[in-house]
Chain A
Amino acid sequence: MSEVLNWFTVALAPAYAAYTLAALGNAVIERSGVLNIAIDGFFVLSSAFAYTYAILLSQVLGSGPLATYIAIALTALTTAVFYSLFTTLNTALPVSQGAVGLSFMFAGYGLGAVVGNIGRLVFSIQRVRVDYLGVTGWGSAVAYVLLVAVAILTHLLLYRLRLGVLIRAVGEDPRVVSQVGVNVTHTRFLAGLIGGLAVGLGGALFTLWRIGGWSQGQGLNHGWLAYAISIAGWRYPLLVALVSVFFSSLYVLLPHIQRLGLPIEISMAVPYIVSVAVMVLVSLAPRRGSILAEPRALGREYFREERA
């Protein structure tokens, strides 16, 4: 029994928190019709920001949990700003969402390397001590409760609040919605802001709780793992939080799978193969017209005027 408890509170909790938050953020952004292929870049960027903020803040505030928590909040805000820029450009510019997404993804990778290295430079010169979140036991239980609360809040936002209804409407048919007088760009800006907060929180917890440190390229591909979770939950917040238990466990366990007889090189690739398989399976499931259906405007360019 204690082993099971230990598994849930020590091993799974940090991974579950990071992936679930990023997946929930992705759900909000993609429900607004913006194809979120920049998620991996943003995840890398936010996990770098979290590290650098934590180091800079522990310079000012001294090491302690306060600096860490402020760093997490700042990371979420920074990521939200970048994300709102992303969704706004995606809507305002009549260029393909693939192009904008790729550019933000690569810029995120590169900026992440720069931002994280600034933190590391300060760290090696000033020799500060950084407090990483060592939350276990009851703290983890509280974290689970908070995560479920975030999932419920996201659900309420998308399906009960006026803003959420607008976000989903814009994701279905932006042109019709704009004819009713709704500002599509503004709505997607807000969706990017809210979703970005969640993705940023996920990236921050990935660095400050799950890994407890930073190295160049950290978070690479983990954004895609979160993306796969989001799709496996049909971009429906409550389902996302639920299936994330399974997938986070899988991602935590898979690297140890060589005990089952798989060569180490192949077992490194298993999470990626699983992610692709999930995206395929979910796309195969018929769900047209249901609440779980893919937003119809997802990935489509939005032209305010008709092209000649």
Chain B
Amino acid sequence: MSFLETLYQTLISYTGLLEPLIFLAMIGTAISIGFYGSFWNVGAEGQYVMGMVGALFLTLFSPLVPLFEGGGTVLTALLKVLVVLFGGLLGVLWSLVPGVLKAYVRVTEVPVLLLMNYVAYSISDYLTAGPWKGRYTYGYIRTDLIPEAARLTIIPGLEMLRYEVVVALVLVIAFAYVLLERTEVGLRIKFLGTNPVALRASGYDERVVTLTTAALSGFVVGVAGALRLLGYDYRLPYNIGDGKTGFYGYTAILVAWLSFRDVRYILPSALIVAVLTSFGYRMQMLLKDLLPPGISAYAISLILMGVTLVVYSIFRVLRDYSMRLVVKP
């Protein structure tokens, strides 16, 4: 297969693209909200895992499912909404720790967010191998499957899509757009990102706005994690940090960046990133005899991320400034 054929195959296999596209778009939106308020949410990976943990806890270890089970469409829908919101809350919990530390203790949020990703992996792995270890797992270390009633509905003909996930994506993007373009809270978040001095001067508490930004960003990521568990994974695997999240929490940073922090461009940039990553994996399979074993899609997408961010920064400078070359005599 040639290079072009691979690219073509990547593009037409839309079902394979849809699933990363949706999750990248959702998490990318969340990270964008953070970027607006100068909250560099590189901790989406951890918030995503915590969303999954929350969803699993509520569906397997709380009396919620038996309570709602068999209660008709409305009650099951309510059940799913509750579980997803709970996942969102755990995401908030995870993003508020660095948020509070940034706002009140002046600790840079980036290292805290990144380190907390690993703490989230650890918590998930501990629960999976310990208290939540499943009984029906054929010897694997993992949790049991969540009950049928809580699982999301597959769209017939589009096996990688779920009705609820599509609805959630639309809601998330609409929410972010309205928040940032139409509400005062959104305006304050943008002010915090562009001119914190003016925000303080106009009488707002910078710290509260930082907390709001962190919480909103973490909430959306947590929601995505819960949806992931309810719609696709149905259980927590062991060694979740070993690529079992698809590293969406990291790749979505690229989505947020490519969208030039404009919520309207989230979907196109999520599509670009989804194509790039699946193209990367296909190329890797195609070229496995030519490339050194470790030049992986992972490495390629990380380099892409770094380069895109640098190019983006330079473009922003070129857009904001007019430059003249002055040759001194």
Contact = CB atoms under 8 A, between A and B. Distances in A.
A, B assembled together: yes
B108 interface: yes
A203 to B, nearest CB: 17
Interface in A75-121: 89, 93-96, 98-111, 113-114, 116-118, 120-121
B108 A110 contact: no
A49 to B, nearest CB: 15
A269 B119 CA distance: 5
Contacts of A108: 306
Given A120-B292, A121-B292, A93 B40 contact: no
A1 interface: no
A100 B115 contact: no
B110 A107 contact: no
Contact of B298 (A37, A113, A228, A272): A113
Contacts of B246: none
B294 A266 contact: no
A268 B122 contact: yes
Contact of A283 (B107, B121, B304, B309): B107
Interface in A243-272: 263, 265-266, 268-269, 272
A275 interface: yes
Interface in B240-293: 250, 253, 292-293
Given A113-B302, A114-B303, A276 B292 contact: no
A260 B114 CA distance: 27
Contacts of A100: 310, 313
Interface centre among A104, A106, A269, by most B CB within 10 Å?
A106
Interface in A38-85: 40-41
Contacts of A268: 118, 122
Contact of B122 (A269, A276, A280): A269
A43 B236 CA distance: 32
Contacts of A111: 303, 306
Nearest to A275: B115
A42 B105 CA distance: 26
A185 interface: no
Contacts of A132: none
Given A106-B305, A106-B306, A279-B112, A93 B314 contact: yes
A110 B303 contact: yes
Interface residues of B, number: 50
Contacts of A5: none
Interface in B131-148: none
Contacts of A105: 306
A63 to B, nearest CB: 22
Interface centre among B38, B296, B309, by most A CB within 10 Å?
B309
A273 interface: yes
Contacts of A201: none
A110 B112 contact: no
Contacts of B313: 89, 93, 95, 99-100, 103
Nearest to A40: B114
A40 to B, nearest CB: 7
Contacts, number: 151
B45 interface: no
Contact of A102 (B119, B294, B301, B309): B309
A279 B298 contact: no
A224 interface: yes
Contacts of A213: none
A116 B306 CA distance: 18
A110 B119 contact: no
Nearest to B304: A110
Interface stretch (B54-62, B70-78, B84-92, B316-324): B316-324
Contact of A94 (B123, B304, B321): B321
A228 B107 CA distance: 11
A19 interface: no
A227 interface: yes
B307 interface: yes
Contacts of A93: 313-314, 317
A140 interface: no
B115 to A, nearest CB: 4
B223 interface: no
B200 interface: no
A224 B114 contact: yes
A216 B292 CA distance: 12
B119 A272 contact: yes
A216 B122 contact: no
A136 interface: no
Contacts of B308: 103
B299 interface: yes
Nearest to A117: B294
A266 B108 CA distance: 24
A118 B291 CA distance: 10
Contacts of A104: 306, 310
A284 interface: yes
B126 interface: yes
Nearest to B315: A95
A102 B256 CA distance: 13
Contact of B316 (A95, A114, A228, A272): A95
A110 B114 contact: no
Interface of B: 38, 40, 42, 101, 105-108, 110-112, 114-116, 118-119, 121-123, 125-126, 129-130, 250, 253, 292-296, 298-310, 312-314, 316-317, 320-321
Please provide the 4 A-B residue pairs with the shortest distance between their CB atoms, ordered closest to farther: A107-B306, A110-B302, A103-B309, A110-B303
Given A280-B105, A283-B106, 20 more contacts: A37-B111, A40-B114, A89-B313, A102-B253, A102-B309, A103-B305, A104-B306, A110-B301, A110-B302, A110-B305, A114-B303, A117-B292, A216-B296, A224-B111, A228-B111, A269-B118, A269-B119, A272-B115, A272-B119, A275-B111
